[in-house]
Amino acid sequence: MPTYPFYQVDAFANQPFEGNQACVMPMEAFLPDDILLKIAAENNVAETAYLVPQADGVWALRWFTPAVEVPLCGHATLASAHVLFDAGGYDADILHFDTVQSGRLSVRRLDDGRLEMDFPSAPIRPVPVTDEIVAALGARPLEAWGGMFYAARFDSPDAVKQLSPDLKALKALGAEGGGWDRGNFGCFALGGDGVEVTSRFFAPGSGIDEDPATGSWHTMLSRILGTHFDLPEAACWQAYPGRGARVDVRLEGDRVKLVGRAVTVIEGQFRL
C-alpha cells in the first residue's frame, strides 16, 4: 500500500484554529490528476498542495480544492513553505515553487520567523455593480473591480462582517474575463481593528462557500489598495467567522509580497 507524507497546516495563523487549513503532501512525482482530486476531496479542506522536488531549492507545486485544480493559491503555498522549512530540513532562507499557470513563486523566511511570498498581481479594471450581484450579496457595494475575481468595496468593516450572501446565486455571477470569472467574490472595506483593511472571500465557483484566508484574493486586493487608495503596503484582516487571518501585503510593480505565519496541526501518512 503506497504511503505519502501528510501535513495539515493552519496558514496565515499564529496558533492552531486560526487562518486557513491546507494539506501538504510531498511526493516524488505527481500522481494522475483524478487521484490528486480524489485525495483533495478526501482531505476536504480548502486546498491540498502537492510538492515534487525539481532541483536544489526548487519544487513543482500544484493546488487542488475538493472540486477543482486552481491556478494560484496563497495559503497553501505558505503552508508548503512552512512544511519544507519546519519539517523538511530545508535550511536556506529562500525557496522556489514552479507552477503551471502562475510561473515561479518564491518564499523567503524573515528574521522574525514570518514567511514572505512573492506573487504576481494581475491587472484590475472597474466593473458595474449590477442588481443581480446586489441581490446575491444581500447588500450594495460602493464600487467594484474585475480581475482574477470580482472585488466589491463596502462602506465599513461591519458591513463586510454582516454579509450573508445567497451562495447559489453568487456561483453564477462575476466579472467577465477574470482568472476565476464566476462565483468568486472578494468583499472588503477600509479600516478594522488594528488593520487598514477588512475583507471576506466567497468562492462557491471553486467549491468553497467561504474561504477563511485567501492569498490569491490578497494579490488582487493589494493592487486595488495601491492603485486606488494610496495603500501600497497594508495590514489586512480576513474576517472569516470563528477563525480570522492576518495577511500583510506590499505592492511592488506587477508583483505583491504576502507575509504571514503558519502552524502545523497534524502530521502523518496518507495511505492509498
For residue 181, is pLDDT > 70? no
The domains located in the chain, with CATH, are 3-121+259-271 (3.10.310.10), 125-253 (3.10.310.10)
Phi/psi for 223 (5° steps) reads -70, -40
Predicted confidence (pLDDT) per residue in 197-229, tens digit: 999 999 998 888 999 999 989 999 999 999 999
Predicted confidence (pLDDT) per residue in 238-258, tens digit: 999 999 999 999 999 999 999
Q: Distances from the Cα of 138 to the Cαs of 6, 127, 135, 145, 172, in angstroms?
A: 39, 18, 5, 18, 15
Query: Among this protein's residues, is 252 annotated catalytic?
Result: no
Catalytic residue among 18, 28, 42, 47: 47
Query: Which of these, 62, 39, 65, lies nearest to 208 by C-alpha position?
Result: 65
58 pLDDT band (50/70/90 cuts)? very high
